[in-house]
Copies of this chain bind each other. A is one copy, B any other.
Amino acid sequence: IAKEVAKLLEMKAQLGGDEGKHKFVLKTPKGTRDYSPKQMAIRERVFNAIINCFKRHGAEVIDTPVFELKETLTGKYGEDSKLIYDLKDQGGELLSLRYDLTVPFARYLAMNKITNIKRYHIAKVYRRDNPATTRGRYREFYQCDFDIAGQFDPMIPDAECLKIVHEILSDLQLGDFLIKVNDRRILDGMFAVCGVPDSKFRTICSSVDKLDKMPWEEVRSEMVGEKGLSPEAADRIGEYVQLHGGLDLIEQLLQDPKLSQNKLAKEGLGDMKLLFEYLTLFGITGKISFDLSLARGLDYYTGVIFEAVLLQQENDHVEEPVSVGSVAGGGRYDGLVGMFDPKGRKVPCVGVSIGIERIFSILEQRVEASEEKIRTTETQVLVASAQKKLLEERLRLISELWDAGIKAEILYKKNPKLLNQLQYCEDTGIPLVAIVGEQELKDGVVKLRVVATREEVNIRRESLIEEIRMRTSQ
Protein backbone atom coordinates (compact mmCIF):
# COMPACT_ATOMS: atom_id res chain seq x y z
CA ILE A 1 0.00 0.00 0.00
CA ALA A 2 2.78 2.44 1.00
CA LYS A 3 4.40 1.88 -2.39
CA GLU A 4 1.15 2.55 -4.22
CA VAL A 5 0.56 5.76 -2.22
CA ALA A 6 4.07 6.92 -3.03
CA LYS A 7 3.43 6.25 -6.72
CA LEU A 8 0.15 8.15 -6.62
CA LEU A 9 1.76 11.08 -4.81
CA GLU A 10 4.50 11.15 -7.39
CA MET A 11 1.93 11.18 -10.18
CA LYS A 12 0.08 13.98 -8.45
CA ALA A 13 3.29 15.96 -8.11
CA GLN A 14 3.92 15.52 -11.83
CA LEU A 15 0.43 16.73 -12.64
CA GLY A 16 0.93 19.65 -10.26
CA GLY A 17 4.21 20.37 -12.00
CA ASP A 18 2.51 20.55 -15.35
CA GLU A 19 -0.19 22.77 -13.99
CA GLY A 20 2.52 24.97 -12.46
CA LYS A 21 3.86 25.63 -15.91
CA HIS A 22 0.77 27.60 -16.74
CA LYS A 23 0.59 29.31 -13.36
CA PHE A 24 3.94 30.83 -14.19
CA VAL A 25 4.71 34.02 -12.23
CA LEU A 26 5.09 36.87 -14.69
CA LYS A 27 7.39 39.39 -13.04
CA THR A 28 10.88 40.81 -12.91
CA PRO A 29 13.09 39.65 -10.01
CA LYS A 30 12.58 41.36 -6.65
CA GLY A 31 14.07 44.84 -6.52
CA THR A 32 14.43 45.15 -10.31
CA ARG A 33 12.30 46.71 -13.02
CA ASP A 34 11.91 47.16 -16.74
CA TYR A 35 12.22 50.58 -18.35
CA SER A 36 9.46 51.44 -20.80
CA PRO A 37 10.22 53.61 -23.84
CA LYS A 38 8.87 56.68 -22.01
CA GLN A 39 11.02 55.94 -18.95
CA MET A 40 14.00 55.39 -21.22
CA ALA A 41 13.46 58.83 -22.77
CA ILE A 42 13.64 60.43 -19.30
CA ARG A 43 16.62 58.24 -18.37
CA GLU A 44 18.47 59.36 -21.50
CA ARG A 45 18.01 63.01 -20.50
CA VAL A 46 19.56 62.36 -17.07
CA PHE A 47 22.43 60.35 -18.55
CA ASN A 48 23.14 63.04 -21.10
CA ALA A 49 23.36 65.76 -18.44
CA ILE A 50 25.76 63.61 -16.41
CA ILE A 51 27.90 62.46 -19.34
CA ASN A 52 28.14 66.04 -20.63
CA CYS A 53 29.46 67.12 -17.24
CA PHE A 54 31.99 64.28 -17.05
CA LYS A 55 33.22 65.09 -20.57
CA ARG A 56 33.37 68.80 -19.71
CA HIS A 57 35.90 67.81 -17.05
CA GLY A 58 38.00 65.86 -19.56
CA ALA A 59 37.17 62.31 -18.45
CA GLU A 60 37.76 59.21 -20.54
CA VAL A 61 35.32 56.30 -20.30
CA ILE A 62 35.95 52.61 -19.50
CA ASP A 63 33.82 49.52 -19.03
CA THR A 64 34.32 46.36 -16.94
CA PRO A 65 32.43 43.03 -16.74
CA VAL A 66 29.21 42.83 -14.70
CA PHE A 67 30.77 40.11 -12.55
CA GLU A 68 34.20 39.84 -10.95
CA LEU A 69 36.10 36.99 -9.34
CA LYS A 70 34.54 36.63 -5.88
CA GLU A 71 37.90 37.24 -4.20
CA THR A 72 38.22 40.60 -5.99
CA LEU A 73 35.29 41.90 -3.92
CA THR A 74 36.30 40.19 -0.65
CA GLY A 75 37.29 42.49 2.21
CA LYS A 76 36.37 45.76 0.49
CA TYR A 77 32.90 46.58 1.80
CA GLY A 78 32.92 45.92 5.54
CA GLU A 79 29.50 45.09 6.97
CA ASP A 80 27.87 45.52 3.54
CA SER A 81 29.63 42.41 2.13
CA LYS A 82 26.60 40.30 3.01
CA LEU A 83 24.66 42.14 0.29
CA ILE A 84 26.86 40.86 -2.55
CA TYR A 85 25.18 38.61 -5.15
CA ASP A 86 27.16 35.44 -5.81
CA LEU A 87 26.86 33.32 -8.93
CA LYS A 88 26.19 29.61 -8.61
CA ASP A 89 29.25 27.38 -8.72
CA GLN A 90 28.71 25.71 -12.10
CA GLY A 91 32.34 24.58 -12.34
CA GLY A 92 35.21 26.98 -12.95
CA GLU A 93 35.73 30.30 -11.20
CA LEU A 94 33.68 31.62 -8.26
CA LEU A 95 32.03 34.86 -9.37
CA SER A 96 30.07 37.72 -7.82
CA LEU A 97 28.06 40.54 -9.38
CA ARG A 98 29.78 43.90 -8.92
CA TYR A 99 28.63 45.80 -5.83
CA ASP A 100 29.92 49.17 -7.03
CA LEU A 101 32.12 50.52 -9.80
CA THR A 102 34.97 51.61 -7.50
CA VAL A 103 36.44 48.19 -6.68
CA PRO A 104 36.38 47.06 -10.34
CA PHE A 105 38.08 50.38 -11.22
CA ALA A 106 40.83 49.75 -8.65
CA ARG A 107 41.24 46.17 -9.98
CA TYR A 108 41.46 47.60 -13.52
CA LEU A 109 44.18 50.09 -12.51
CA ALA A 110 46.28 47.47 -10.68
CA MET A 111 45.87 44.88 -13.46
CA ASN A 112 46.93 47.31 -16.17
CA LYS A 113 49.53 49.12 -14.03
CA ILE A 114 47.82 52.46 -14.67
CA THR A 115 48.96 55.17 -12.24
CA ASN A 116 47.25 58.15 -13.77
CA ILE A 117 43.77 58.38 -15.27
CA LYS A 118 40.58 60.45 -15.10
CA ARG A 119 37.70 58.26 -16.18
CA TYR A 120 33.94 57.88 -15.90
CA HIS A 121 31.98 54.67 -15.89
CA ILE A 122 28.19 54.35 -16.09
CA ALA A 123 26.82 50.89 -15.40
CA LYS A 124 24.50 48.82 -13.26
CA VAL A 125 25.55 47.49 -9.85
CA TYR A 126 23.89 44.88 -7.64
CA ARG A 127 23.03 44.78 -3.94
CA ARG A 128 20.86 42.19 -2.16
CA ASP A 129 19.24 44.90 -0.08
CA ASN A 130 15.59 45.17 0.90
CA PRO A 131 14.99 48.49 -0.75
CA ALA A 132 11.82 50.56 -0.83
CA THR A 133 11.44 50.60 -4.60
CA THR A 134 8.66 53.18 -4.30
CA ARG A 135 11.37 55.59 -3.17
CA GLY A 136 13.58 54.88 -6.14
CA ARG A 137 15.82 52.33 -4.47
CA TYR A 138 16.51 49.01 -6.21
CA ARG A 139 18.62 45.85 -6.08
CA GLU A 140 19.80 46.53 -9.61
CA PHE A 141 20.63 50.18 -10.14
CA TYR A 142 22.82 52.47 -12.15
CA GLN A 143 25.87 54.20 -10.80
CA CYS A 144 27.53 57.06 -12.67
CA ASP A 145 31.08 57.28 -11.42
CA PHE A 146 33.81 59.84 -12.06
CA ASP A 147 37.25 59.19 -10.52
CA ILE A 148 40.68 60.78 -10.64
CA ALA A 149 43.63 58.45 -9.99
CA GLY A 150 47.19 59.68 -9.57
CA GLN A 151 49.72 61.30 -7.29
CA PHE A 152 48.82 65.02 -7.29
CA ASP A 153 48.99 68.07 -5.06
CA PRO A 154 46.50 67.91 -2.18
CA MET A 155 42.78 68.65 -2.60
CA ILE A 156 42.84 69.83 -6.23
CA PRO A 157 41.16 66.68 -7.66
CA ASP A 158 39.01 66.41 -4.51
CA ALA A 159 37.68 69.94 -5.09
CA GLU A 160 36.92 69.10 -8.74
CA CYS A 161 34.79 66.12 -7.65
CA LEU A 162 32.66 68.43 -5.49
CA LYS A 163 32.41 70.94 -8.35
CA ILE A 164 31.09 68.11 -10.54
CA VAL A 165 28.39 67.16 -8.03
CA HIS A 166 27.42 70.82 -7.82
CA GLU A 167 27.24 71.19 -11.61
CA ILE A 168 25.16 68.04 -12.14
CA LEU A 169 22.63 68.73 -9.38
CA SER A 170 22.26 72.33 -10.54
CA ASP A 171 21.91 71.29 -14.17
CA LEU A 172 19.19 68.71 -13.42
CA GLN A 173 17.15 71.31 -11.49
CA LEU A 174 16.14 68.93 -8.73
CA GLY A 175 15.55 71.71 -6.22
CA ASP A 176 17.73 72.77 -3.32
CA PHE A 177 20.58 70.50 -2.25
CA LEU A 178 23.41 70.30 0.25
CA ILE A 179 26.77 68.56 -0.10
CA LYS A 180 28.04 67.29 3.29
CA VAL A 181 31.80 66.89 3.58
CA ASN A 182 33.98 65.19 6.17
CA ASP A 183 37.30 63.33 6.28
CA ARG A 184 38.05 59.80 7.49
CA ARG A 185 41.18 61.11 9.21
CA ILE A 186 39.11 63.62 11.18
CA LEU A 187 36.68 60.84 12.12
CA ASP A 188 39.48 58.49 13.21
CA GLY A 189 41.19 61.30 15.15
CA MET A 190 37.86 62.08 16.80
CA PHE A 191 37.35 58.41 17.73
CA ALA A 192 40.87 58.29 19.20
CA VAL A 193 40.44 61.40 21.38
CA CYS A 194 36.99 60.18 22.48
CA GLY A 195 38.57 56.98 23.78
CA VAL A 196 37.46 54.46 21.13
CA PRO A 197 39.96 51.57 20.94
CA ASP A 198 41.73 51.28 17.53
CA SER A 199 40.13 47.89 16.86
CA LYS A 200 36.62 49.44 17.06
CA PHE A 201 37.22 52.40 14.68
CA ARG A 202 35.57 50.79 11.64
CA THR A 203 32.56 49.35 13.44
CA ILE A 204 31.89 52.59 15.36
CA CYS A 205 32.25 54.43 12.04
CA SER A 206 29.48 52.16 10.65
CA SER A 207 27.26 53.21 13.55
CA VAL A 208 27.89 56.92 12.95
CA ASP A 209 26.99 56.28 9.29
CA LYS A 210 23.44 55.47 10.40
CA LEU A 211 22.83 58.96 11.80
CA ASP A 212 21.00 60.02 8.62
CA LYS A 213 18.39 57.30 9.22
CA MET A 214 18.30 56.98 13.06
CA PRO A 215 18.25 59.45 15.95
CA TRP A 216 21.42 59.78 18.04
CA GLU A 217 19.91 57.88 20.98
CA GLU A 218 19.51 54.71 18.91
CA VAL A 219 22.97 55.01 17.42
CA ARG A 220 24.40 55.53 20.88
CA SER A 221 22.70 52.42 22.26
CA GLU A 222 24.05 50.39 19.29
CA MET A 223 27.56 51.65 20.11
CA VAL A 224 27.30 50.88 23.80
CA GLY A 225 25.04 47.80 23.69
CA GLU A 226 25.97 45.84 20.57
CA LYS A 227 29.47 47.11 20.04
CA GLY A 228 30.66 47.36 23.66
CA LEU A 229 31.82 50.98 23.61
CA SER A 230 32.05 52.75 26.98
CA PRO A 231 29.15 55.18 27.61
CA GLU A 232 31.64 58.01 28.22
CA ALA A 233 33.30 57.53 24.83
CA ALA A 234 29.89 57.39 23.14
CA ASP A 235 28.83 60.64 24.79
CA ARG A 236 32.03 62.38 23.71
CA ILE A 237 31.34 61.24 20.12
CA GLY A 238 27.77 62.50 20.53
CA GLU A 239 29.05 66.02 21.09
CA TYR A 240 31.31 66.09 18.06
CA VAL A 241 28.80 64.62 15.58
CA GLN A 242 26.40 67.49 16.23
CA LEU A 243 28.84 69.92 14.67
CA HIS A 244 28.51 71.23 11.14
CA GLY A 245 29.53 74.45 9.45
CA GLY A 246 32.13 75.95 7.16
CA LEU A 247 35.59 77.47 7.39
CA ASP A 248 34.74 78.84 10.86
CA LEU A 249 34.12 75.33 12.23
CA ILE A 250 37.38 74.08 10.70
CA GLU A 251 39.27 76.92 12.43
CA GLN A 252 37.48 76.18 15.69
CA LEU A 253 38.42 72.48 15.57
CA LEU A 254 42.01 73.31 14.67
CA GLN A 255 42.02 75.10 18.06
CA ASP A 256 40.21 72.23 19.85
CA PRO A 257 42.59 71.24 22.68
CA LYS A 258 42.10 67.50 22.19
CA LEU A 259 41.58 67.18 18.44
CA SER A 260 44.47 69.48 17.56
CA GLN A 261 46.83 67.16 19.44
CA ASN A 262 45.87 64.21 17.25
CA LYS A 263 48.11 63.84 14.20
CA LEU A 264 45.46 62.33 11.89
CA ALA A 265 42.78 64.85 12.82
CA LYS A 266 45.19 67.73 12.36
CA GLU A 267 46.16 66.52 8.88
CA GLY A 268 42.51 66.08 7.94
CA LEU A 269 41.55 69.52 9.24
CA GLY A 270 44.44 71.15 7.40
CA ASP A 271 43.36 69.56 4.13
CA MET A 272 39.72 70.44 4.82
CA LYS A 273 40.75 74.09 5.10
CA LEU A 274 42.58 73.89 1.77
CA LEU A 275 39.55 72.21 0.21
CA PHE A 276 37.28 75.04 1.34
CA GLU A 277 39.69 77.59 -0.15
CA TYR A 278 39.44 75.88 -3.55
CA LEU A 279 35.66 75.55 -3.25
CA THR A 280 35.51 79.30 -2.56
CA LEU A 281 37.36 79.91 -5.84
CA PHE A 282 34.78 77.70 -7.55
CA GLY A 283 32.04 79.78 -5.89
CA ILE A 284 30.17 76.78 -4.48
CA THR A 285 30.68 76.95 -0.70
CA GLY A 286 27.06 78.08 -0.31
CA LYS A 287 25.92 74.49 -0.80
CA ILE A 288 28.75 72.76 1.07
CA SER A 289 28.61 71.81 4.76
CA PHE A 290 31.52 70.41 6.76
CA ASP A 291 29.59 67.85 8.84
CA LEU A 292 31.18 65.69 11.55
CA SER A 293 28.28 63.22 11.49
CA LEU A 294 29.02 62.15 7.91
CA ALA A 295 30.78 58.75 7.99
CA ARG A 296 30.01 56.76 4.74
CA GLY A 297 29.70 53.01 5.20
CA LEU A 298 32.43 51.64 2.96
CA ASP A 299 35.74 50.42 4.34
CA TYR A 300 38.01 51.72 1.63
CA TYR A 301 37.85 55.51 2.21
CA THR A 302 41.01 57.11 3.57
CA GLY A 303 40.52 60.89 3.31
CA VAL A 304 37.82 63.32 2.24
CA ILE A 305 34.31 61.85 2.08
CA PHE A 306 31.14 63.55 0.89
CA GLU A 307 27.47 63.00 0.23
CA ALA A 308 24.86 65.17 -1.51
CA VAL A 309 21.26 65.28 -0.26
CA LEU A 310 18.19 66.95 -1.66
CA LEU A 311 16.77 69.37 0.87
CA GLN A 312 13.11 69.47 0.00
CA GLN A 313 10.52 67.97 -2.21
CA GLU A 314 10.66 69.53 -5.61
CA ASN A 315 7.02 69.29 -6.54
CA ASP A 316 4.43 69.75 -3.82
CA HIS A 317 1.60 68.63 -6.08
CA VAL A 318 2.86 65.07 -6.32
CA GLU A 319 0.79 62.92 -4.00
CA GLU A 320 3.26 60.15 -3.19
CA PRO A 321 6.21 61.99 -1.63
CA VAL A 322 9.59 61.19 -3.14
CA SER A 323 12.25 60.34 -0.60
CA VAL A 324 14.49 63.28 0.12
CA GLY A 325 17.71 61.39 0.35
CA SER A 326 21.27 60.96 -0.82
CA VAL A 327 21.74 61.43 -4.57
CA ALA A 328 25.53 61.43 -4.80
CA GLY A 329 28.47 60.38 -2.69
CA GLY A 330 32.15 59.68 -2.81
CA GLY A 331 35.51 60.28 -1.33
CA ARG A 332 39.22 59.55 -1.35
CA TYR A 333 40.50 55.96 -1.28
CA ASP A 334 44.28 55.97 -1.45
CA GLY A 335 44.79 52.35 -0.37
CA LEU A 336 42.37 50.39 -2.56
CA VAL A 337 44.52 49.97 -5.68
CA GLY A 338 47.43 48.85 -3.49
CA MET A 339 45.25 46.00 -2.15
CA PHE A 340 45.29 44.57 -5.69
CA ASP A 341 48.90 45.26 -6.59
CA PRO A 342 51.24 42.28 -5.99
CA LYS A 343 53.82 44.65 -4.50
CA GLY A 344 51.24 46.83 -2.75
CA ARG A 345 52.09 49.89 -4.84
CA LYS A 346 49.53 52.56 -4.05
CA VAL A 347 47.66 54.77 -6.51
CA PRO A 348 45.84 57.62 -4.73
CA CYS A 349 42.26 58.00 -5.96
CA VAL A 350 39.29 60.26 -5.36
CA GLY A 351 35.90 59.94 -6.96
CA VAL A 352 32.20 60.61 -6.97
CA SER A 353 29.23 58.38 -7.69
CA ILE A 354 25.90 59.85 -8.84
CA GLY A 355 22.90 57.76 -7.77
CA ILE A 356 20.62 58.27 -10.69
CA GLU A 357 17.70 56.05 -9.61
CA ARG A 358 16.39 58.59 -7.12
CA ILE A 359 17.00 61.44 -9.51
CA PHE A 360 15.16 59.45 -12.16
CA SER A 361 12.20 58.80 -9.83
CA ILE A 362 11.85 62.50 -9.10
CA LEU A 363 11.98 63.49 -12.78
CA GLU A 364 9.56 60.72 -13.73
CA GLN A 365 7.01 61.94 -11.19
CA ARG A 366 7.51 65.49 -12.38
CA VAL A 367 6.78 64.47 -15.99
CA GLU A 368 3.66 62.59 -14.84
CA ALA A 369 2.45 65.63 -12.93
CA SER A 370 3.10 68.09 -15.72
CA GLU A 371 1.41 65.93 -18.39
CA GLU A 372 4.30 66.83 -20.66
CA LYS A 373 4.15 64.73 -23.84
CA ILE A 374 7.40 62.87 -24.33
CA ARG A 375 8.24 61.51 -27.77
CA THR A 376 9.79 58.06 -27.67
CA THR A 377 10.90 57.96 -31.32
CA GLU A 378 12.58 60.46 -33.64
CA THR A 379 10.67 59.55 -36.80
CA GLN A 380 10.53 62.51 -39.20
CA VAL A 381 8.05 61.21 -41.74
CA LEU A 382 5.41 58.51 -42.23
CA VAL A 383 5.20 57.14 -45.76
CA ALA A 384 1.47 56.73 -46.36
CA SER A 385 -0.86 55.90 -49.20
CA ALA A 386 -4.20 57.46 -50.13
CA GLN A 387 -5.55 54.46 -52.08
CA LYS A 388 -5.26 50.68 -52.05
CA LYS A 389 -2.64 48.62 -53.86
CA LEU A 390 0.19 51.06 -53.24
CA LEU A 391 2.31 48.94 -50.86
CA GLU A 392 5.01 48.52 -53.49
CA GLU A 393 5.19 52.27 -54.04
CA ARG A 394 5.38 52.88 -50.30
CA LEU A 395 8.21 50.35 -49.92
CA ARG A 396 10.12 51.85 -52.84
CA LEU A 397 9.81 55.37 -51.46
CA ILE A 398 10.67 54.53 -47.83
CA SER A 399 13.72 52.61 -48.98
CA GLU A 400 14.95 55.76 -50.75
CA LEU A 401 14.33 57.82 -47.61
CA TRP A 402 16.16 55.35 -45.32
CA ASP A 403 19.13 55.26 -47.71
CA ALA A 404 19.25 59.07 -47.53
CA GLY A 405 19.32 58.93 -43.72
CA ILE A 406 15.73 60.14 -43.21
CA LYS A 407 13.96 58.64 -40.19
CA ALA A 408 10.84 57.13 -41.71
CA GLU A 409 8.11 54.61 -40.94
CA ILE A 410 5.26 52.86 -42.72
CA LEU A 411 2.31 50.96 -41.32
CA TYR A 412 2.85 47.21 -41.85
CA LYS A 413 -0.45 46.78 -43.67
CA LYS A 414 -1.00 46.12 -47.36
CA ASN A 415 -3.86 48.61 -47.58
CA PRO A 416 -4.00 50.85 -44.50
CA LYS A 417 -6.69 53.52 -44.28
CA LEU A 418 -5.42 57.09 -44.65
CA LEU A 419 -7.20 58.04 -41.43
CA ASN A 420 -5.34 55.31 -39.50
CA GLN A 421 -2.07 56.48 -40.94
CA LEU A 422 -2.73 60.09 -39.90
CA GLN A 423 -3.88 58.95 -36.47
CA TYR A 424 -0.59 57.06 -36.00
CA CYS A 425 1.29 60.32 -36.61
CA GLU A 426 -0.87 62.13 -34.04
CA ASP A 427 -0.28 59.38 -31.47
CA THR A 428 3.47 59.15 -31.89
CA GLY A 429 4.31 62.77 -32.71
CA ILE A 430 5.55 62.22 -36.28
CA PRO A 431 5.55 65.72 -37.82
CA LEU A 432 5.29 64.91 -41.56
CA VAL A 433 3.40 62.50 -43.84
CA ALA A 434 4.60 61.69 -47.35
CA ILE A 435 1.50 60.51 -49.20
CA VAL A 436 1.70 58.51 -52.41
CA GLY A 437 -1.44 58.30 -54.56
CA GLU A 438 -2.18 57.34 -58.14
CA GLN A 439 -2.39 60.94 -59.37
CA GLU A 440 0.82 61.90 -57.54
CA LEU A 441 2.65 58.94 -59.10
CA LYS A 442 1.55 60.07 -62.57
CA ASP A 443 2.67 63.63 -61.86
CA GLY A 444 6.02 62.57 -60.39
CA VAL A 445 5.25 64.22 -57.07
CA VAL A 446 4.63 63.22 -53.44
CA LYS A 447 2.06 65.01 -51.29
CA LEU A 448 3.77 66.24 -48.11
CA ARG A 449 1.41 66.88 -45.21
CA VAL A 450 2.33 68.79 -42.05
CA VAL A 451 0.54 66.95 -39.24
CA ALA A 452 0.27 69.94 -36.89
CA THR A 453 -1.23 72.39 -39.41
CA ARG A 454 -2.82 69.92 -41.90
CA GLU A 455 -1.13 71.94 -44.64
CA GLU A 456 -0.48 69.83 -47.79
CA VAL A 457 1.93 70.59 -50.63
CA ASN A 458 3.00 68.59 -53.67
CA ILE A 459 6.76 68.16 -53.77
CA ARG A 460 8.60 66.85 -56.81
CA ARG A 461 9.89 63.36 -55.99
CA GLU A 462 13.53 64.35 -56.58
CA SER A 463 13.24 67.25 -54.10
CA LEU A 464 11.45 65.29 -51.37
CA ILE A 465 14.51 64.33 -49.31
CA GLU A 466 15.82 67.88 -49.21
CA GLU A 467 12.34 69.21 -48.34
CA ILE A 468 11.96 66.76 -45.41
CA ARG A 469 15.43 67.60 -44.12
CA MET A 470 14.68 71.32 -44.28
CA ARG A 471 11.33 71.00 -42.53
CA THR A 472 12.62 68.80 -39.70
CA SER A 473 15.98 70.39 -38.96
CA GLN A 474 16.01 72.20 -35.64
Q: Contacts A32-B67, A90-B128, A377-B55; is A412 near B157 (CB within 8 Å)?
A: yes
Residues of the B chain whose Cβ atoms lie less than 8 Å from the Cβ of A405: 56
A35 near B55: Cβ-Cβ < 8 Å: no
In the assembly, how many copies of this chain are there?
2
A37, A86, A108, A408 pick with most chain B CB within 10 angstroms = A37
Q: Which residues of B contact A24 (CB under 8 A)?
A: 71, 340, 342
Contact pattern, A 257-283, Cβ under 8 Å of B = 1, otherwise 0: 000000000000000000000100111
Which B residues are CB-close (under 8 A) to A402? 56-57, 163, 167
The reply to whether B34 and A108 form a contact with Cβ atoms under 8 Å apart is yes
Q: How far is the CB of A275 from chain B (nearest CB, A)?
A: 12
A62 contacts chain B at the CB level, 8 A cutoff: yes
Q: A361 to chain B: closest CB distance in Å? A: 15
Given contacts A55-B378, A62-B35, contact A399 B67 (CB under 8 A): no
Q: How far is the CB of A32 from chain B (nearest CB, A)?
A: 4
A311 at the B interface (CB under 8 A): no
CB-CB contacts below 8 Å: A368-424 with B: 376-379, 391-392, 395-396, 399, 402-403, 405-410, 412-414
Return chain B residues, CB-CB under 8 Å to A35.
Answer: 62-64
Assembly CA distance A32 to B107 (angstroms) = 14
**Complex CA–CA separation, A85 to B88 (angstroms):** 8
Contacts of A71 in B (CB 8 A): 24-25
> Is A124 on the interface with B (CB-CB < 8 A)?
yes
Distance in Å from the Cβ of A95 to the closest Cβ of chain B?
5
Verify if A61 is at the interface (C-beta below 8 Å from B): yes
Task: Given A65-B33, A412-B153, decide whether A60 and B40 contact each other with a Cβ distance below 8 A.
Answer: yes
Residue of B66, B119, B152, B167 near A37 (CB, 8 A) is B119
CB <8 Å contact, A377 and B59 = yes
> Is A30 at the interface (CB under 8 A from chain B)?
yes
A218 on the B face (CB < 8 A): no
Interface residues of A in 59-102 (CB under 8 A from B): 59-69, 71, 85-90, 92-93, 95, 97
**Are A29 and B65 in contact, CB atoms less than 8 angstroms apart?**
yes
Q: Which of A63, A71, A379, A407 has the most CB of B within 10 A?
A: A63
- Can you list, as one digit per residue, whether each of A45-64 has a CB less than 8 Å from chain B (1) or not (0)? 00000000001111111111
Which are the 4 A-B pairs with shortest beta-carbon distances?
Answer: A37-B60, A152-B412, A32-B65, A58-B409
